[in-house]
Amino acid sequence: MKVLVINAGSSSIKYQLFDMPAGDVPAKGMIERIGEAQSQLTHKYDGKTHSAAVTAKDHEQGMQVILQTLADPTIGVVKKVSEIHAVGHRVVHGGEEFTGSVIISDQVVGSIERFADLAPLHNPPNLTGIRAAMHALPDAVQVACFDTAFHTTIPPVAYIYGLPYDIYEKYRVRRYGFHGTSHRFVARRCAKLMNIDKTKANIITCHLGNGCSITAVKEGKSVDTSMGLTPLEGVVMGTRCGDIDPAILFYLADKGYDIKKLNAMCNKQSGLLGISGASNDMRNLLELSAQGNERAKLAIDIFNYRIKKYVGTYTAVLGRLDAVVFTGGIGENNAFIRKEVCSGQTQIGIDINDKRNEAKEPKERLISEDNSRVSVFVIPTDEERAIAGDTYELAK
């Protein structure tokens, strides 16, 4: 079965075509700058890359370009688009309603619309991608895979905030968590690598990129996670502030900051960028720190410190810890960050092996000592593969 996985952003569509159940990927790519005078297509197939300027005034047209490319006699990988039996869509917010991936119906579309105010930057473009795919492939099974679904097992003690309870009852203000598809994928992969049943494994998963979240996985289920009602809560990120005293916002409001300015500050001007004043890219900050830039060094130190705090906290939550997993752009590629987060953690049983940690290959590997009580792994995330798996199971 051919399964197309779609991740629609506000001005882009990423895609991967899977042959299921084998999981082979004959083609993948993305369209960027949708809605601009000229959009850009990058299409990878058979070890080759095809780049071209295309016209995509909206997501509907962008989907048409993708399907035409997949069925192109020269660079395509299918004879006709009707060979695509199912489409899996990444959707960021599923509220409390969706505990797993679902076949898309009018009711599901309505729910995704309803949760848009909880993820205004993500759900609307996700929904645009769904509608475009439904129009372009009317006979294919359409499946929604929610970032929040894996975290619906979090208990009330972890998801209820210390606000008046009627705020939760009226507005469903609670911890939802994000990156769920990634956390689920790497936690299950880690259990398999350790030869532990996924329902018995206690793992802390660290998804570290421009957006970062840490999740406590107990007996295969998410029981706590660092992101909250929105992806703003938790550790310091590329441009997001993470955990702060909420009274700071009231204080700044008295100084003349309005809601729009505060929102932009916390989401787009804070984190590594805000502290360093130089960059939200960890690679740039490490270079600047090596050159003696004190604020770049401070940003890196705060980043590592906050992650280490969450690892310690979630170790206490889990009671027994089998493994820590690093994934995401920073987690998979930055040996220095992994070492700093794991340093001084011998009291909870983490003993990292420097040679394994600093190696570039294999991408997926154990980086702790053989006798470390807690294993530490680098596992590249593959959210698209997880979505393809869910879509295949539902479409069967």
Active site residues: 147
The neighbour count for residue 18, using CB atoms within 10 Å, is 26
Is 116 exposed, middle or buried, given 0-12, 13-18 or 19+ CB atoms closer than 10 A? Answer: middle
Q: Helices 335-342 and 294-318 sit at what angle, rounded to 10 degrees?
A: 50
3-state secondary structure of 141: strand
Say how far apart CA 393 and CA 388 lie, in whole Å: 9
Chain position carrying tokens 């916390």: 266
Contact 78, 2 (CB under 8 A): yes
Bridge pairing between strands 2-8 and 84-91: parallel
Q: Under a CB-based contact definition with an 8 Å cutoff, are residues 372 and 351 in contact?
A: yes
Residue 366 CA neighbour count, 13 Å, CB half: 16
Q: Which residue has the tokens 């990927």?
A: 25
